[in-house]
Amino acid sequence: MENTILRYAVVGIASMGRSHIEGILNCPMTTLAAVCDIREELAKACAADYGLDRYYTDLDTMLQNEDIDVVIICTPDQVHREQTVAALRAGCHVLCEKPMALELDDCRAMVQASRESGKKLMIGQVCRKAPGFVKAKELVDAGVIGELFFVESEYAHDYARIPGMGGWRIDPVHLRYPVIGGGCHAIDLLRWIAGDPTETFAYSNRKMLTTWPVDDCTVAVLKFPNDVIGKVFTSVGCKRTYTMRTVLYGSKGTIFTDNTSPEITLQLEKLDADGKYLCIEEEKIPVEINNHNVTSEIEEFSDAILNDKPVPTDGLQGAYTVAVGRAIVESAETSRPVRIDYDI
């Protein structure tokens, strides 16, 4: 591209949208060009806060009137397809917040629009940017803990304590299953580390958020490549502090990590010169706490656009994560194992 500074627009400017705006401002390759939200008071206040001359309450109007290179979609999941496709067809690259969509057909439409437009699509699976998880994958890839045999990750939250966590998240028409809405983080993290699972068996219940239209707790067992077994636990009503505790078990040792801790715990088997077991040695590896590293995400996407590089969390990656989530939901609802459909 001729431009060395990409002009970004953000659609949906509540807390997530403003977080992305800060990421844009922190990136030397980007500038904030426009903001859009159907709630005029939010759009107007945001434009004033960031020195913009005008704001928008309609995406199509913004696309027609602004010179934009990239659109970031931070709106409710059920409108991701419509807005992403519109921005791609208008000639913009798109960074869409996770989950990519709630249904696989929506994911397919978004991937197809990216292909037809020739514009890049990135899905904000930001856990791949959390320093603790990045370090854990580096250790696995370097063979430090040997061959993987079991991996587990969790998305544990208490939505009941967070103001505004109802609304579109409990839409009875567009069902936002927590294992897709928030659990996609844990699914995507394990996919990134262990590969694409082929089958799942899951159970779920609704004992905490009993007025919600979907189950609030899900446990899924997954078959990963190379005979690795995995587990994803999702709860959005548990009485504990938020964490994504993740444990990776290998033939030589184990990694304990999450996105809210300043350190990784590495436990390795120690042998003597004859190969006899001596003990388990433990090491604490310090890491930065940055569980929503959108600056790194925006830097990576901008570099991919400017230098025509592949996007690591592109539309296919986002769709594959949703595919696993949909299979987990189906298994929990039917009480049977489900093969995962990666036909995107």
Q: What is the CATH number of the domain that holds 24?
A: 3.40.50.720
Per the domain annotation, does 200 fall within a domain? yes
Same domain for 208 and 250? yes
Mean pLDDT of the chain: 96
Same domain for 226 and 255? yes
Which residues constitute the domain of residue 10?
A: 6-126+293-313
Q: Which helix (H) or strand (E) holds 89?
A: helix 80-89
Per the domain annotation, does 277 fall within a domain? yes
Q: What is the CATH number of the domain that holds 172?
A: 3.30.360.10
Does residue 99 have a cis bond before it (omega within 30 degrees)? yes
Half-sphere exposure of 186 (CA within 13 A, CB side): 34
Q: For residue 103, which amino acid is it?
A: E
Per the domain annotation, does 185 fall within a domain? yes
Enter the DSSP assignment of 182.
Answer: T
Give which of 282, 261, 287 is closest to 270, Cα–Cα.
Answer: 282
Same domain for 224 and 93? no
- Cβ pair 319, 104 in contact under 8 A: yes
How much is the pLDDT for 151? 98
Same domain for 306 and 175? no
Q: Which helix (H) or strand (E) holds 249?
A: strand 246-250
How much is the pLDDT for 207? 97
How much is the pLDDT for 91? 98
- Cβ pair 324, 46 in contact under 8 A: no
Same domain for 187 and 79? no
**R_g of the chain, CA atoms, integer Å:** 21
d(Cα 250, Cα 269) in Å, to the nearest integer? 10
How much is the pLDDT for 2? 57
Domain count, the chain: 2
% of the chain surpassing 90 pLDDT: 94
Per the domain annotation, does 344 fall within a domain? no
pTM for the model? 0.96
Same domain for 257 and 146? yes
Give which of 187, 238, 188 is closest to 208, Cα–Cα.
Answer: 238
Same domain for 223 and 181? yes
Contacts of 8 (CB under 8 A, 6+ apart): 24, 30, 31, 32, 33, 68, 69, 70, 71, 72, 298
Same domain for 328 and 198? yes
Per the domain annotation, does 318 fall within a domain? no
Per the domain annotation, does 270 fall within a domain? yes
Give the pairing of strands 6-11 and 30-36.
Answer: parallel
Give which of 73, 80, 125 is closest to 95, Cα–Cα.
Answer: 73
pLDDT tens per residue, range 171-212: 888 999 999 999 999 999 999 999 999 999 999 999 999 999
Same domain for 258 and 170? yes
Give which of 72, 122, 131, 69 is closest to 100, Cα–Cα.
Answer: 122
Give which of 267, 272, 234 is closest to 253, Cα–Cα.
Answer: 267
Per the domain annotation, does 308 fall within a domain? yes
How much is the pLDDT for 1? 54
Same domain for 25 and 41? yes
Per the domain annotation, does 64 fall within a domain? yes
How much is the pLDDT for 140? 98
Helix (H, G, I), strand (E, B) or coil at 278: strand
d(Cα 312, Cα 129) in Å, to the nearest integer? 11
pLDDT tens per residue, range 8-38: 999 999 999 999 999 999 999 999 999 999 9
Query: Hunting for tokens 């078990």 — which residue is that?
Result: 249
How much is the pLDDT for 3? 63
Same domain for 172 and 284? yes
Q: State the angle between helix axes of 104-117 and 315-334 in degrees (0 to 180), rounded to the nearest 10.
A: 170
Contacts of 102 (CB under 8 A, 6+ apart): 77, 78, 174, 175, 176, 177, 180, 181, 322
- Which residues of the chain register pLDDT less than 70? 1-3
- Cβ pair 193, 140 in contact under 8 A: yes
d(Cα 35, Cα 17) in Å, to the nearest integer? 9
Number of residues assigned to the chain: 344
Q: Is 172 left (phi over 0), alpha (psi -120 to 50) or beta?
A: alpha
d(Cα 219, Cα 209) in Å, to the nearest integer? 16
Same domain for 63 and 81? yes
